[in-house]
Structure 1
């Protein structure tokens, strides 16, 4: 499953990332991690203090990747609207949900300040990054002058995260897509 050049610690982190997304923290057992990573029984404790330490490394990696993806889109070319549109329309595995957002529904992650912190920081960072793009568009006359960047950013995040929930509940990405289309029609520059 993993490249033979990938170190054992990397295989453990990647396995944990996948399992957290699929099963949540409680469903991600050390045995499942080791099996998915193709690692020996003592490997996890050789490289990490235990499951919480490994989960933290996995959550941080997932958060870093999400931030990089978002920055590539929101920091890329195009008008403010086009960048928000690109963020909303980017390719996603809608039925699996957001690998960071799903962690907010995991009671074990939320109960741990250490595990919750990179989740909270990443969501706050995405919100702030979206708000800055919206504010830029508002100042350039692209968005209505009364729009508040922070509020629009919160709405964008709520649409994405809520869209994942609706899509998963219905078993179809149609609800996600409808929410995105609706939000984009509300944000579309008037001209």
Structure 2
């Protein structure tokens, strides 16, 4: 792995663990096992390196989410697969956690890939809900954008609840609750 790749990977991990302020150039260099001047040789500085790391994290998240949402199954099954996909729940979402970092949120440039990625997930889920409505899997009155927002809020909020109590069961309970609300219901026979 090249030095610039090691720097990006180290920064990604540190941003996830410590946030922007807690990610010092010294910590990045130590984690990447890189020499003193290597960061400035490959990047303009910490903001430039952080942007590369955030973009990489966002791209990986999109790839993972697309792999599930574009997979086989009914619209409900694909949303269920997204909600139940393997995650390190107690670490939180590597993209969603960035929204809690005041330095990232304050920077349009650093916030942009976070905002774009979460927006992309919402749009993709909204399209699946609309597809499900057309196929009769979901009630016709559902609003795809609102359901997509609820799905994303359940995931991000589930991370927060699980971290707060130190137990992934809180995340799982939120997922089960949302899925029970979304589950296609058969109308009672007369």
Measured after TM superposition, the shift of residue 52 of structure 1 is 0.2
C-alpha separation in 2, matches of 1:122 and 1:42 = 32
- Partner in structure 2 of residue 9 of structure 1: 4
C-alpha separation in 2, matches of 1:121 and 1:153 = 15
C-alpha separation in 1, matches of 2:64 and 2:131 = 20
- Which one of the candidate residues 24, 27, 51 is aligned to 1:32? 27
- Partner in structure 1 of residue 129 of structure 2: 134
Matched residue of 1:94: which SS? coil
C-alpha separation in 2, matches of 1:70 and 1:91 = 11
Runs of 4+ in 1 over 4 A off after TM superposition: none
Measured after TM superposition, the shift of residue 115 of structure 1 is 0.1
Residue by residue over 1:87-146, the C-alpha shift from the partner in whole angstroms, topping out at 9 and shown as x without a partner, is 000000000000000000000000101000000000100000000011100110000111
C-alpha separation in 2, matches of 1:80 and 1:43 = 47
Measured after TM superposition, the shift of residue 190 of structure 1 is 1.1
C-alpha separation in 2, matches of 1:132 and 1:66 = 18
Alignment of 1:93 onto 2:88: yes
Measured after TM superposition, the shift of residue 174 of structure 1 is 1.0
- Which one of the candidate residues 143, 156, 160 is aligned to 1:148? 143
- Partner in structure 1 of residue 105 of structure 2: 110
Structure 1: tracts of 5 or more residues without a match = 1-5
With the length of structure 2 as denominator, give the TM-score of the two structures: 0.97
Alignment of 1:23 onto 2:23: no
C-alpha separation in 1, matches of 2:120 and 2:59 = 11
- Which one of the candidate residues 45, 49, 55 is aligned to 1:50? 45
C-alpha separation in 2, matches of 1:118 and 1:175 = 28
C-alpha separation in 2, matches of 1:94 and 1:51 = 28
- Partner in structure 2 of residue 76 of structure 1: 71
- Partner in structure 2 of residue 3 of structure 1: none
- Partner in structure 2 of residue 184 of structure 1: 179
C-alpha separation in 1, matches of 2:63 and 2:130 = 21
C-alpha separation in 2, matches of 1:157 and 1:36 = 31
Structure 2: tracts of 5 or more residues without a match = none
Aligned length: 186
